[in-house]
């Protein structure tokens, strides 16, 4: 016992990591496993070490439960950003879409640079290590060598790519002055957010589901779609006389509100949805062209109008014999 006390209970004077003596600026810290290290050395090990950094460097005793990282968590955190920061990001994204509209459409590298990287880079806070946009940029940097910038499959990348494509779709369908609208930008954000993280593109089934369930999670997507219809009516509909036959109405509405607006979306609208769409289009056209009401522009107060239109269309019983 005496020999053990003399040889094995010597006081610790140096840090096991850096082998430097402890001092006022290099204070010792003891772990639960009783190993002692310099405070600065050990915190550096926790933050920047390789491998199993949630354990003691000597005995590998677990120090804390490490949270498993899921890629979609970054997107979830981004969705919780305050509205002002999200507005700044959407403004930068609009500008990225505008840059891309003047670029070579076949250059995928330019698309990623203009629409993905630059907006995130512009709104990041370089002074804040925990800034969500900065973390997103770092994560994209880490992914690039593995997946490449043109074919990402990561759940943190899918929503932001889909957001860019959705915004590009809106950019083609609305007048230039609306591309500076904060309300419309945030509606695009909410519509994209409602889709989730695994859908690579907007799917018509979600739009159809939103038309059936106006209080459901996909209503922002339906609201945005209705805004695009409204904008087409005011800026693209050049019909002088509205058709009277059902098949003529159907062909016209499907061509301009499904084939044209949703050309990049996956799936197909249902026949029931198309029937609803005719009613919604006629009502919007009557209000905007005949009575001179302003078009829908994506403001929060329009929600009850959109719900009213689709509710009317859903309850409208169509007599097939009269519409042939």
Alpha helices in 68-217 (DSSP H): 72-79, 83-101, 108-111, 118-123, 132-147, 158-173, 182-195, 204-212
Beta strand pairing call for 36-38 and 28-30: antiparallel
Structure confidence by residue, pLDDT tens digits, 77-130: 788 888 888 888 898 888 888 887 776 555 555 566 667 777 888 888 777 766
Options 3.30.40.10, 3.40.1830.10, 3.40.50.10440, 3.40.718.10; CATH for 2-48 is 3.30.40.10
Alpha helices in 174-254 (DSSP H): 182-195, 204-212, 219-235, 246-254
Residues 116/93/98/190 CA torsion (nearest 10 deg): 110
- Residues linked to residue 30 through DSSP beta bridges, in sequence order: 36
pTM as predicted: 0.74
Q: Are 173 and 213 in contact (CB under 8 A)?
A: no
Average pLDDT, the chain: 82
Q: Are 264 and 169 in contact (CB under 8 A)?
A: yes
| Percent of residues, the chain, with pLDDT higher than 90 | 35
Structure confidence by residue, pLDDT tens digits, 151-172: 455 667 788 888 988 998 999 9
Structure confidence by residue, pLDDT tens digits, 191-207: 999 998 888 889 999 99
In this predicted structure, the answer to whether residue 136 has a pLDDT above a threshold of 90 is no
Nearest C-alpha neighbor of 289 from the set 229, 243, 234: 234
> Domain limits of the chain?
2-48, 70-199, 202-324
Provide the 3-class DSSP secondary structure of residue 176. Answer: helix
In this predicted structure, the answer to whether residue 220 has a pLDDT above a threshold of 90 is yes
């Amino acid at each position: 016992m005496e020999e053990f006390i003399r040889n094995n209970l010597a006081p610790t004077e140096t840090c096991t990591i850096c082998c430097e003596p402890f001092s006022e600026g290099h204070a010792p810290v003891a772990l639960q496993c009783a190993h002692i290290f310099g405070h600065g050395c050990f915190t550096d090990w926790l933050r920047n070490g390789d491998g199993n950094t949630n354990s003691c460097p000597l005995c590998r005793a677990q120090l804390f439960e490490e949270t498993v990282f899921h890629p979609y968590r970054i997107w979830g955190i981004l969705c919780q950003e305050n509205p002002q920061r999200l507005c700044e990001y959407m403004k930068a994204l609009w500008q990225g879409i505008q840059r891309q509209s003047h670029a070579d459409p076949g250059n995928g590298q330019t698309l990623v640079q203009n629409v993905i990287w630059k907006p995130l880079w512009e709104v990041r806070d370089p002074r804040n290590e925990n800034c969500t946009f900065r973390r997103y940029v770092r994560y994209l940097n880490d992914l690039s060598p593995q997946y490449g910038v043109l074919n990402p499959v990561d759940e943190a990348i899918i929503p932001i790519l889909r957001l860019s494509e959705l915004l590009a779709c809106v950019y083609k369908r609305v007048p230039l002055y609306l591309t500076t609208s904060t309300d419309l930008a945030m509606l695009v954000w909410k519509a994209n957010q409602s889709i989730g993280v695994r859908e690579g593109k907007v799917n018509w089934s979600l739009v159809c589901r939103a038309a059936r369930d106006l209080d459901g999670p996909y209503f922002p997507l339906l609201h945005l779609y209705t805004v695009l219809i409204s904008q087409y009516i005011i800026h693209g509909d050049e019909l002088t006389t509205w058709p009277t036959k059902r098949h003529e109405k159907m062909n016209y509405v499907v061509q301009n509100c499904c084939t044209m607006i949703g050309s990049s979306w996956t799936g197909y609208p249902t026949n029931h949805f198309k029937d609803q769409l005719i009613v919604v289009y006629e009502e919007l056209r009557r209000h905007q062209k005949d009575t001179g009401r302003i078009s829908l522009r994506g403001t929060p107060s329009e929600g009850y109008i959109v719900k009213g239109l689709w509710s009317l269309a859903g309850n409208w019983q169509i007599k097939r014999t009269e519409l042939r």
